[in-house]
Structure 1
Amino acid sequence: MPGTQSAPEPPVAQIAGTAAFSKFVHLMQLVADTPEPMSVSELSKASGYPRPTVYRTVAALLAERLLEENPRTGKLALGPRLIQLASRSWGRSELRLASVEDLKRLRDITGETVHLAVPNGQHMVYIEKLESPSAVRMSSRIGTNVSMHSTSVGKAYLAMLDDAAREAVLAALPQPFARYMPNTIGDLQALREQLQQVRARGWAVDDEENEAGIYCFGAPVFGGRGVPVAAISVSTLRFRQKEDPEQAYVAPLLRACRAISQRIADTPALSATEAL
Structure 2
Amino acid sequence: MSLSELQDEADAGAPTHVQGAASFSKFITVLQIIADAPGTLDIAQLTKRAPFPRGTVYRLVAALMAEGLVTQSGDGGTFRLGPRLLQLAAKTWEDSDLRTIARDFLESLRDATDEAVHLAVPSHNRMVYIDKLVGSNRVQMKTSIGGQVELHSTSVGKAWLSGLPDQRLLEVIKSLDLRRHTAKTFTTPEALFDELKRTREQGFAFDDEENEPDIRCLGSPIFSRSGEPVGAVSISMPVYRHDARRHELCARLVRQTAKQISAELSRMV
TM-score interval w.r.t. the shorter chain?
0.7 to 0.9
1:30 alignment partner in structure 2: 30
How much does 1:230 deviate?
A: 0.8
Unaligned runs of 5+ in 2: 1-22
2:19 alignment partner in structure 1: none
Query: 1:28·1:78 contact (CA, 8 Å) conserved in 2?
Result: no
How much does 1:31 deviate?
A: 3.0
**CA–CA separation in structure 1 for the residues paired with 2:267 and 2:149:** 30
Q: For residue 148 of structure 1, what is the amino acid of its counterpart? A: L
Q: For residue 229 of structure 2, what is the amino acid of its counterpart? A: P
Deviates more, 1:96-105 or 1:133-142: 133-142
2:8 alignment partner in structure 1: none
How much does 1:258 deviate?
A: 0.9
How much does 1:146 deviate?
A: 1.1
1:71-98 CA distance string (max 9 Å, x none) = 79x7644367744552342022111101
Q: Secondary structure at the match of 1:234?
A: strand
How much does 1:29 deviate?
A: 5.1
How much does 1:33 deviate?
A: 5.7
1:185 maps to 2:199: no
TM-score (norm 1): 0.75
1:218-246 CA distance string (max 9 Å, x none) = 10111102221111110011112254123
- Check 1:28–1:216 CA distance in 2 against 1; reply closer, same or farther (3 A cut): same
The match for 1:100 among 103, 106, 113 is 103
Query: 1:223·1:261 contact (CA, 8 Å) conserved in 2?
Result: yes
TM-score (norm 2): 0.77
2:230 alignment partner in structure 1: 229
Superposed CA RMSD in Å reads 3.1
How much does 1:120 deviate?
A: 0.9
2:123 alignment partner in structure 1: 120
**CA–CA separation in structure 1 for the residues paired with 2:72 and 2:241:** 36
2:6 alignment partner in structure 1: none
1:132 alignment partner in structure 2: 135
Matches within 5 A, 1:5-154: 27=27, 30-32=30-32, 37=37, 39-44=42-47, 45-48=50-53, 50=55, 53=59, 66-67=70-71, 76-78=79-81, 82-83=85-86, 85-154=88-157
% identical aligned pairs:
33
**CA–CA separation in structure 2 for the residues paired with 1:78 and 1:138:** 23
1:193-237 CA distance string (max 9 Å, x none) = 101111111111111112221100010111102221111110011
1:167 alignment partner in structure 2: 170
Unaligned runs of 5+ in 1: 1-21, 271-276
Query: 2:34·2:79 contact (CA, 8 Å) conserved in 1?
Result: no
- Check 1:221–1:56 CA distance in 2 against 1; reply closer, same or farther (3 A cut): closer
Query: 2:224·2:262 contact (CA, 8 Å) conserved in 1?
Result: yes
Query: 2:109·2:117 contact (CA, 8 Å) conserved in 1?
Result: yes
1:30-84 CA distance string (max 9 Å, x none) = 23267953552353453546265467567778xx694577x79x76443677445
**CA–CA separation in structure 1 for the residues paired with 2:141 and 2:85:** 21
How many residues end up aligned between the 2 structures? 241
Q: Secondary structure at the match of 1:141?
A: coil
Query: 2:121·2:129 contact (CA, 8 Å) conserved in 1?
Result: yes
Deviates more, 1:49-58 or 1:212-221: 49-58
